[in-house]
Structure formats: C-alpha cells, structure tokens
Structure 1
Amino acid sequence: MSRAATTRLAESAMALCLAVMAGAVFVNVVLRYGFGEGIAASEELSRLLFVWMVFIGGTAAYPAGQHMAFTSLLRPLRGKPAMLKAVTRLIHALTLLACVLLGQGAWQQVVVGLDSHSTVLNYPAALLPLPAFLCAAAIGLMALVDLLRGKAIDFGHDSEVE
C-alpha cells in the first residue's frame, strides 16, 4: 500500500470517527434539551471514537514529519554533517525508546481491560488503550526503519519554533 493510499485511509477513518461523534453528540443534545431524555451510549461512543481518532492521527502524522521536530535546535549542526547525523540517530533512538515504553504501558492496560466492559455499550474496556498500543507499535517500527536507514530530519518546516 502506498504512502498516499495509507494517508487517505487514515484520514477517512478519522473523518468517519469525527462524523459519528458529531452525529451522536448532536442527536443527544437535541433529545436532552428538546425532549428531556438523551441517549446514554452517546458519551461512551464519543469517548471511544475520540481516543481512536487521536491515535490514528498521531500515527499518520509521523511519516509526514508533522510531529514536533525541534529543527531550530538542529539547524546549528547543519554545517557539521557528522554531528548532525549522530544527533539525528539519537533522536530516532529516543523516539523508538518512547514508543517501547508507551507500548508496554498500553499493552498492560489492554490486558487489564480484557476482563472488564464499558457500562452502557458493554464493549471490552481493552478497546480504549488498544489504539495507544497500535500507535506505539507503528511509530516505533517507522522510527526503527528511520534509525537503520539513517533518515535525515526534515528542515522544511515553516516555523522556527514548534
């Protein structure tokens, strides 16, 4: 699957999450204020979809270089290619470490959540931390590939301070 197709798929999934969330909240507000009763599942569904949307977006943002890059700290190293390469590898290694730590914590929460269910919709509580685990695994894999390939940090950002 190409990068453009993957980006379109992620954007479509986020748009679907947002549309369902907006629809559920809108209907719940209308029912609550117009008729005095709401849909109890609306809040739970919106929370679950919001968590998934955030982590899908975070995963899609990594290969596009849209996470914080702190390029202003690296610009002085542009004239020193060996130092820039070393710091770039350090950044990729630290990103990988952060993903490992996030993935471990998220997986622990997934395992704990397998035995409990949400109050209203009765979905497994493991569905809330699962996107964090998947995001950490995906970004960690991309960071590992970047580390092994020695991918350079993109300096093409519009802002000097991010």
Structure 2
Amino acid sequence: MFDLYKENLVDAEQTVLFGKRLSAACDTAICIYLHGDLGAGKTTLTRGFIQGLGHKGHVKSPTYTLVEPYELETWTVYHFDLYRLGSPEELEFMGIRDYFTDQSHCLVEWPERGEGVLAQADIDLTLRYVGEQRCIELQANTENGQRVLKKL
C-alpha cells in the first residue's frame, strides 16, 4: 500500500507545478481535503491543479462564496473554502452532496468546519512552512487516493 507521500516545495511556482502533477494523477473523481494555516499555499496548489486540467483563466479563493466551480472539458472542479462557514448545516442548505459526483474533483479548504456533512476525503493534503520552504504531505484514505499517490 502507498498511503503517505511527502515532498518539499521551495516556492509558490513549485507549489503550482505540484498541483498540476496532482491533477494529472487523478483519472477518476477525487475528493481532497486541504489543510494548512492561512497563507500556507492551499489556493496556490489548487490553482495548479485546475490549470493542469486545462483552465486558462484566473483561479480565485472562494472565501466569501464558499465554492467556486470550474467547468472544464473533462471534469468539473469545485474549489471549496469553508473558512467563513458558520456551521456544517449551512452545507446542507447549499446542496453539498450534489457537488460530489463521478464527473467532479472536489478540493476543500478548511474541511474541519464541515465535519459530519462532507464526503469522505480520498486524500488529506497538508501544507506547512518549514523555514522558507513548504512541506507537502498527502495521506491516502481510500483506494482511489492510494492510486493517485502511487502515480506521483
């Protein structure tokens, strides 16, 4: 089994490139929880993930909208930022379960704020600073997550 993956990323550019590599490794729908402090690089990594699937426009943080959809040729990517979520029940009102389909990748920042309502993560991804670099750690929680980690 391949359950854990770690790598150091020296700057934001490498974080974007890692996001592109990660999206290339996802050949089935995936749910990734993104963990890390404010400014750790979660949205930067998401930008790379979405660009890696062919998106050419801007990728913004959905801090105030909770979710930002990206309709791409093969996939729909939903980028969630639950930092400002008042309670997990708010996710039920927005129809959260409808986002997690066989044709979508879901990347969720601050998933602990939606605990008990969100779908299970295939991968828990943590970004943290170690000196001037970022350390990225991915933990596979499902067979799908293990397949992705194996491809990295």
TM range (shorter): under 0.3
Question: What TM-score results when the alignment is normalised by the length of structure 2?
Answer: 0.27
- The structure with the largest alpha-carbon Rg is 1
Structure in which a larger fraction of residues adopt strand: 2
Structure in which a larger fraction of residues adopt helix: 1
